[in-house]
Amino acid sequence: TTRFLKFRHTTIYDVINYYRCHHDVSYLDRYNAGRPPALDSTQIKQLDQIIKQNRSGTAAELLSHTNFNTTERTIQSYRLSLGYRPRKSVFEVKTSNKNEQNRYQFAAQHYLANIKKNFLKMNVMWG
Protein backbone atom coordinates (compact mmCIF):
# COMPACT_ATOMS: atom_id res chain seq x y z
CA THR A 1 0.00 0.00 0.00
CA THR A 2 2.88 2.42 0.59
CA ARG A 3 3.94 2.17 -3.04
CA PHE A 4 0.37 2.72 -4.20
CA LEU A 5 -0.16 5.83 -2.02
CA LYS A 6 3.42 7.08 -2.53
CA PHE A 7 3.84 7.81 1.19
CA ARG A 8 6.34 6.44 3.65
CA HIS A 9 4.96 3.68 5.85
CA THR A 10 5.60 5.77 9.00
CA THR A 11 3.25 8.45 7.70
CA ILE A 12 0.52 5.91 7.16
CA TYR A 13 0.98 4.55 10.68
CA ASP A 14 0.86 8.08 12.07
CA VAL A 15 -2.49 8.70 10.35
CA ILE A 16 -3.89 5.40 11.65
CA ASN A 17 -2.77 6.17 15.21
CA TYR A 18 -4.19 9.68 15.00
CA TYR A 19 -7.53 8.26 13.82
CA ARG A 20 -7.58 5.76 16.70
CA CYS A 21 -7.06 8.52 19.24
CA HIS A 22 -9.27 11.28 17.79
CA HIS A 23 -11.69 9.43 15.48
CA ASP A 24 -10.87 12.01 12.85
CA VAL A 25 -8.28 12.23 10.12
CA SER A 26 -8.05 16.02 9.76
CA TYR A 27 -4.72 17.53 10.62
CA LEU A 28 -6.00 21.00 11.41
CA ASP A 29 -4.40 20.86 14.83
CA ARG A 30 -0.95 20.64 13.31
CA TYR A 31 -1.28 24.03 11.60
CA ASN A 32 -1.86 25.70 14.93
CA ALA A 33 1.46 24.49 16.24
CA GLY A 34 3.97 26.85 17.77
CA ARG A 35 3.76 29.64 20.26
CA PRO A 36 0.47 31.56 20.24
CA PRO A 37 0.67 35.29 19.46
CA ALA A 38 1.11 37.62 22.42
CA LEU A 39 -1.83 39.85 21.39
CA ASP A 40 -5.08 38.85 19.73
CA SER A 41 -6.69 40.83 16.90
CA THR A 42 -8.81 43.05 19.18
CA GLN A 43 -5.78 43.91 21.29
CA ILE A 44 -3.79 44.74 18.15
CA LYS A 45 -6.57 47.09 16.99
CA GLN A 46 -6.64 48.70 20.44
CA LEU A 47 -2.85 49.14 20.36
CA ASP A 48 -3.13 50.69 16.89
CA GLN A 49 -5.64 53.25 18.19
CA ILE A 50 -3.43 54.09 21.18
CA ILE A 51 -0.40 54.57 18.92
CA LYS A 52 -2.42 56.88 16.64
CA GLN A 53 -3.34 59.02 19.66
CA ASN A 54 0.21 59.08 21.02
CA ARG A 55 2.62 58.75 18.07
CA SER A 56 5.71 59.83 19.99
CA GLY A 57 5.02 57.67 23.03
CA THR A 58 7.58 55.15 24.20
CA ALA A 59 6.74 51.49 24.54
CA ALA A 60 6.49 51.89 28.32
CA GLU A 61 3.98 54.74 27.93
CA LEU A 62 1.92 52.77 25.41
CA LEU A 63 1.94 49.74 27.70
CA SER A 64 0.75 51.86 30.62
CA HIS A 65 -2.30 52.96 28.56
CA THR A 66 -3.32 49.33 28.07
CA ASN A 67 -4.17 46.45 30.37
CA PHE A 68 -2.16 43.95 28.34
CA ASN A 69 -0.17 41.33 30.19
CA THR A 70 2.94 41.70 28.05
CA THR A 71 6.34 43.39 27.92
CA GLU A 72 7.62 46.64 26.45
CA ARG A 73 9.61 44.67 23.88
CA THR A 74 6.40 43.04 22.65
CA ILE A 75 4.81 46.48 22.25
CA GLN A 76 7.87 47.64 20.29
CA SER A 77 7.71 44.68 17.91
CA TYR A 78 3.96 45.05 17.33
CA ARG A 79 4.41 48.79 16.75
CA LEU A 80 6.95 47.99 14.02
CA SER A 81 4.71 45.29 12.52
CA LEU A 82 1.85 47.81 12.35
CA GLY A 83 4.09 50.08 10.27
CA TYR A 84 4.97 52.71 12.85
CA ARG A 85 8.63 53.62 12.83
CA PRO A 86 10.32 55.29 15.80
CA ARG A 87 10.97 58.92 15.18
CA LYS A 88 14.40 60.36 15.64
CA SER A 89 14.68 62.92 18.39
CA VAL A 90 15.46 66.44 17.29
CA PHE A 91 17.90 68.23 19.54
CA GLU A 92 17.85 71.99 19.60
CA VAL A 93 20.99 73.79 20.66
CA LYS A 94 20.03 76.48 23.11
CA THR A 95 22.25 79.47 22.60
CA SER A 96 22.22 83.05 23.71
CA ASN A 97 23.33 85.94 21.52
CA LYS A 98 26.65 86.16 23.39
CA ASN A 99 27.28 82.41 22.99
CA GLU A 100 26.43 82.59 19.29
CA GLN A 101 28.83 85.50 18.76
CA ASN A 102 31.61 83.54 20.50
CA ARG A 103 30.98 80.54 18.25
CA TYR A 104 31.13 82.63 15.08
CA GLN A 105 34.28 84.38 16.28
CA PHE A 106 35.97 81.04 17.03
CA ALA A 107 34.97 79.68 13.62
CA ALA A 108 36.28 82.78 11.81
CA GLN A 109 39.63 82.62 13.62
CA HIS A 110 40.18 78.93 12.97
CA TYR A 111 38.82 78.92 9.43
CA LEU A 112 41.89 80.61 7.97
CA ALA A 113 44.24 78.58 10.15
CA ASN A 114 42.74 75.31 8.83
CA ILE A 115 43.04 76.51 5.23
CA LYS A 116 46.70 77.41 5.70
CA LYS A 117 47.44 74.10 7.44
CA ASN A 118 45.73 72.07 4.70
CA PHE A 119 47.49 74.10 2.00
CA LEU A 120 50.86 73.40 3.59
CA LYS A 121 50.04 69.68 3.79
CA MET A 122 49.14 69.62 0.11
CA ASN A 123 52.43 71.39 -0.81
CA VAL A 124 54.41 68.86 1.22
CA MET A 125 52.59 65.94 -0.42
CA TRP A 126 52.94 67.27 -3.99
CA GLY A 127 56.12 69.31 -3.54
Q: Report pLDDT digits (tens) over 14-53.
A: 878 878 877 776 655 566 667 889 999 999 999 999 999 9
Who has greater pLDDT, 110 or 74? 74
pTM: 0.47
Residue 110 lies in a domain: yes
Residue 28 lies in a domain: yes
| Domain total in the chain | 2
53 shares a domain with 17:
yes
In a domain, residue 3? The reply is no
The answer for residues whose C-beta is within 8 angstroms of residue 2's C-beta and 6 or more apart is 8, 9, 12
Domain limits at 59?
12-82
Same domain? For 78 and 100 the reply is no
Q: What's the CA angle centered on 28, arms 10 and 40, to 5 degrees?
A: 140
Domain identity same for 58 and 17: yes
> Are residues 27 and 60 located together in one domain of the fold?
yes
Residue 87 carries which DSSP code? Answer: P
